[in-house]
Structure 1
């Protein structure tokens, strides 16, 4: 009999802010928590983002992020303030987005993030090295707590610091820029290949030169070199390409 009575008791008697139902508090409107002791207007506190708030686009899709803390309500809202990192300066949007969080457990929720294509549409400055969101949470959709930052960047090319919101270019970055000035938009780029065409079917608009771009040790340096196609004894025209070649579609290869 005593055990049965105890099973009906609730923690702290629901703080007089709810009713006890088989050992669980059913809180009155405006109160949350296992003992109904917290106001719903009180936001979640003590939040952390996994991986130190970093999201590398080479290893993760960065479409959602987990937030760890203590969540007294199953209904949680995320406020997202988008920002870009341009020349290691943080430039924030003035229009925050509010999204419903996905409740995982009393210690974890998940907030949605715009997809990478959405972020590309937001991009307006070419010198951007990273972007991200300042995220705060609310139990009522109105009163939000302290912000936590997630920084989104290409982890193959940059090393970023969430605290200072800054990034450093890595020497191992494989991205390079190849100059194509003076090359028409209907040209085709090939790599490390030999292009050949028979003179029997050679079109009348066959170009006599091919522009070849050679990359040097510095990714910002390129040289433009013009070479002549060669023809063997069988009348076959060969164009040899080194690294990157820009070849006119007029060759019909």
Structure 2
């Protein structure tokens, strides 16, 4: 850390950083002695660099003055040297970013370009009744923003087991950082997954990552299911179906002859429907008879009343039928004939 370009310049510009750097080095040394490894060194260096920038902000001259005539301030010079882990010794810090040497890559040039990613092993689930299950963020190490690639193998879980079907699908990954990337499942893969899924309890993918599209990491398991109907265990790859979503496939060889109790039920329903129908017909007949009886008692006492009745009957089109009542008959197209007296 004493050779870090940013800390060297920071101690020259911000005197208080001399003591802070010495204290940080002592703490880092103790951590290495206790743990037996130097993994804490990078975190200590990053903390010292951030502390340097905070302290430098307090000095107005560092943000307004520069060491050259090109308008660059001393703060700008510090920021240009603020590269992660000093580029791991495998690159050059340029304007705060690492320009890696050939054969190295990553934000801090710590990874070899042909390195294979290491996935954090585990299983996870995605509930299709809660969200769209087509984008998955996976975690691990050695993710490079060069030719990062996802590989997915289709997983299907049934009531009595599971299987991996079809060939693997390879598609570009979305680089997030050295430790995370996103796999967005293409539409073609999702359409194939959804086809013929009547007897499938859950589906999913076995995902792996590659930096070159050839050498892939270990796999992580994604199980996708509907939580309103199933409860799935992504570790053992099995699912339990809720009774509310139960279904029973009908075998093609199953007899279609109804059972005796079904026939009895049909007879009862038929009897009830028939009885109701008879009652409705009887009520209709009674109403018609009552209306006819009421009409027969109507007196047509005057000539004007007679013609009013005739006119009323003629206003309606009854087709080719004759219109008759106890008092008058009218044949279509003929003169009405009076058939009786009051």
* Band of TM-score, shorter chain: 0.5 to 0.7
**What is residue 108 of structure 2 aligned with on the other side?**
35
TM-score (norm 2): 0.47
**What is residue 240 of structure 1 aligned with on the other side?**
none
Unaligned runs of 5+ in 2: 1-7, 11-73, 253-257, 282-342
* Match for residue 96 of structure 1 among 161, 164, 168: 168
Change (3 A) 1:114 1:37: closer
Change (3 A) 1:2 1:30: closer
Written as runs of structure 1 = structure 2, the 5 A alignment for 1:142-221 is 142-171=214-243, 173-176=244-247
**What is residue 109 of structure 1 aligned with on the other side?**
181
Change (3 A) 1:117 1:85: same
SS at 1:96 equivalent: strand
SS at 2:118 equivalent: coil
Change (3 A) 1:232 1:106: farther
**What is residue 130 of structure 1 aligned with on the other side?**
202
Q: C-alpha separation between the residues in 2 aligned to 1:134 and 1:117?
A: 17
Unaligned runs of 5+ in 1: 182-212, 214-221, 236-253
- CA deviation profile, 1:160-200 (whole Å, cap 9, x unmatched): 111111111223x3344597x9xxxxxxxxxxxxxxxxxxx
Q: C-alpha separation between the residues in 2 aligned to 1:154 and 1:62?
A: 11
**Pair member with larger Rg:** 2
- State the shift of 1:43 in Å: 3.0
* Match for residue 2 of structure 1 among 1, 4, 9: 9
Q: C-alpha separation between the residues in 1 aligned to 2:204 and 2:248?
A: 25
- Structure scoring higher RCO (CA < 8 A, sep ≥ 6) equals 1
* Count of equivalent residues: 192
Indicate the RMSD between aligned Cα atoms, in angstroms.
3.6
* Match for residue 131 of structure 2 among 60, 72, 93: 60
Q: C-alpha separation between the residues in 2 aligned to 1:28 and 1:88?
A: 53
- State the shift of 1:29 in Å: 4.3
SS at 1:119 equivalent: helix
Higher percent of residues as helix: 2
Higher percent of residues as strand: 1
Q: C-alpha separation between the residues in 2 aligned to 1:55 and 1:164?
A: 16
TM-score (norm 1): 0.61
Change (3 A) 1:87 1:35: same
Answer yes or no: is the 8 Å Cα contact 2:111–2:142 preserved in 1. Answer: no
Q: C-alpha separation between the residues in 2 aligned to 1:71 and 1:149?
A: 19
**What is residue 154 of structure 2 aligned with on the other side?**
82
Answer yes or no: is the 8 Å Cα contact 2:115–2:142 preserved in 1. Answer: no
Answer yes or no: is the 8 Å Cα contact 2:143–2:181 preserved in 1. Answer: no
SS at 1:128 equivalent: coil
Q: C-alpha separation between the residues in 1 aligned to 2:172 and 2:180?
A: 14
